[in-house]
Amino acid sequence: MDIAVIIPTIRIQSAAECIDSLILNAGIEHTIICEVDRERIGCPKMVKRMVDNHKYDMYCFMGDDTRGELNFLKIALQYMNEIDWGLVGLNDGSGHICSHWLAHRKLLEHLGGEFFHSCYKHCYCDDELLERCKLLGRFVYAKDAKIKHLHPSLNKKIQYDEDYKRVYSSEYIKHDRELFLKRKKDKWK
């Protein structure tokens, strides 16, 4: 199975540290695809672009502010093998069970061709992905597939930079929450 780790990037130095952690800790063979979001089109659109431009059996989504812990990808793949195909949530310590994930390409035919609906600005796209995969019976949470999420909401020593402030602005959150509720009500159409 071919696995690509996709890293939509805003913070270039942080992404380099993420890549270093992947090389050291993935535990299995994989390809790393890291692309800088120079236009600030946002994570959902970046994920779509990266998946559309690179054909792999599976994709592992990591943020540029994450670090893989020992054998995290190998462990996630073991969970994937238990469900054959679907979505595996990684444990990033945030309490969100699907902020970062390993997904099988076969999901795309059930999700309208994209893991994150690209109309989201940043938030709630992972909530939609999780709910839709649960409805399909194709989700499992890999508690022992651990990554560190170096996010200001999880670590008070990390400052909110301009990009964090933008994507977690009340305007973006309101837009994404309303979109999520509308799409859920309309059965994800």
pLDDT on residue 90: 98
Please report, for the domain that includes residue 61, its CATH number.
Answer: 3.90.550.10
* Helix/strand/coil for 22: helix
State residue 9's pLDDT score.
97
Q: Environment class of residue 178 by beta-carbon count within 10 Å: exposed (0-12), middle (13-18) or buried (19+)?
A: exposed
Least confident of 51-55, 82-86, 95-99, 174-178: 95-99
At 97-150, the pLDDT tens digits run 999 999 999 999 999 999 999 999 999 999 999 999 999 999 999 999 999 999
Separation of alpha carbons 177 and 168, rounded Å? 12
| pLDDT at residue 53, as a whole number | 97
CA–CA gap between residue 73 and residue 101 (Å, rounded)? 10
Q: What pLDDT is recorded for position 181?
A: 98
Q: What is the pLDDT of residue 159?
A: 79
The pair of three-digit structure tokens given for residue 173, joined into one six-digit string: 């959150």
Q: What is the DSSP letter of 69?
A: P
- Which helix (H) or strand (E) segment is 9 a member of? strand 3-9
Q: How many residues does the chain have?
A: 189
Strands (DSSP E) found in 19-149: 31-36, 58-61, 66-68, 87-91, 101-104, 139-149
CA count, 13 A, side-chain hemisphere, 161: 8
In this structure, the strands spanning 101-104 and 66-68 are unpaired
For the segment 3-40, what is each residue's pLDDT rounded down to a tens digit?
999 999 999 999 999 999 999 999 999 999 999 999 99
Complete edge-to-edge strand list for the sheet that includes strand 31-36:
31-36, 3-9, 58-61, 101-104, 87-91, 139-149, 66-68
pLDDT score of 162 = 86
Mean pLDDT of 82-108: 96
Residue 80 near residue 133, CB atoms below 8 Å: no
Q: Which domain holds residue 140?
A: 3-185
The token pair at 98 is 């699907």
pLDDT reading at 50 higher than 90: yes
Query: What are the pLDDT digits (tens) for 137-173?
Result: 999 999 999 999 998 787 777 878 888 888 899 999 9
Q: Could you tell me if 50 and 108 are in contact, meaning their C-beta atoms sit under 8 angstroms apart?
A: no
What's the total number of domains in the chain?
1
57: left (phi over 0), alpha (psi -120 to 50) or beta: alpha
